Amino acid sequence: MKKNAAIILLILGTVSCAGINVKNVRENSNEIDAVKKAGLIIRISRDVRVGREDYVRSIAHWIAGLRPEKNLLFVSDSNDKLTYFAGDDERFYQVTEDGDYLKFKSLGVVNLYIRDNREELKKIVDGNSLDGLFIYEIYGVIANEMQFIDYDTSLVMLNKKLDVIYMDRQHFNDDTNEIDFDRLKIKYLDSVSDRLTRTLIDLDFLEK
């Protein structure tokens, strides 16, 4: 993969977004500390009203307002298999019908994602001289007619050998008086971007 196929951002690590509860699934602090340059892949559903470019733009704006501690690379031209999931069974965030989180099923989906995309992931890591790779998965609903937003996310971090060294999960919903879709979309994008940047602060990639 060409180095100029990604946008290089120099960036700077706790997660405590207002009203957003981020829970760790797996964390290897020594392995995380060893990563000095990481790539960032945004993974979303194909069937959404918000495009991947909207997420990338919003997240880039939030990151640019913080001070870098480590290098972060937006991976811009990765294979669709890396950046989109087609159905609930492919999501990193797995739950029961009652909404209870399924830790080992979720880890299993991540492991299968790595196995099925190992060659492409290695190209990204090796082609950009990365020590690690973040995959930020987002699934959200913007219901301007019913005046609420609802989303869940999972951030996964891999080392250069493509082992999972960090994984978290988070769910958020909020009622709003806003009925304009474009305004609600901005609020939604700000929320998912804020959640990510706060985690990157906790992981010592960014500093306020």
| CA dist., res. 136 & res. 42, Å (int) | 5
Residues in the chain, overall count: 208
- Find the helix packing angle between 103-116 and 118-127, rounded to 10°: 70
Series of mean pLDDT values for 10-residue runs along the chain (208 residues): 39 42 95 98 89 95 96 89 94 95 98 97 96 97 83 97 98 85 93 96 96
Residue with tokens 């760790």: 24
- How far apart are alpha carbons 128 and 120 in whole angstroms? 12
Asked whether the beta carbons of 118 and 125 are under 8 A apart, the reply is no
What pLDDT shows up at residue 13?
Answer: 31
Pair type for strands 148-159 and 164-175? antiparallel
Question: Which pLDDT score is estimated for 107?
Answer: 98
Q: Which of 41, 9, 8 is nearest to 120 (CA)?
A: 41
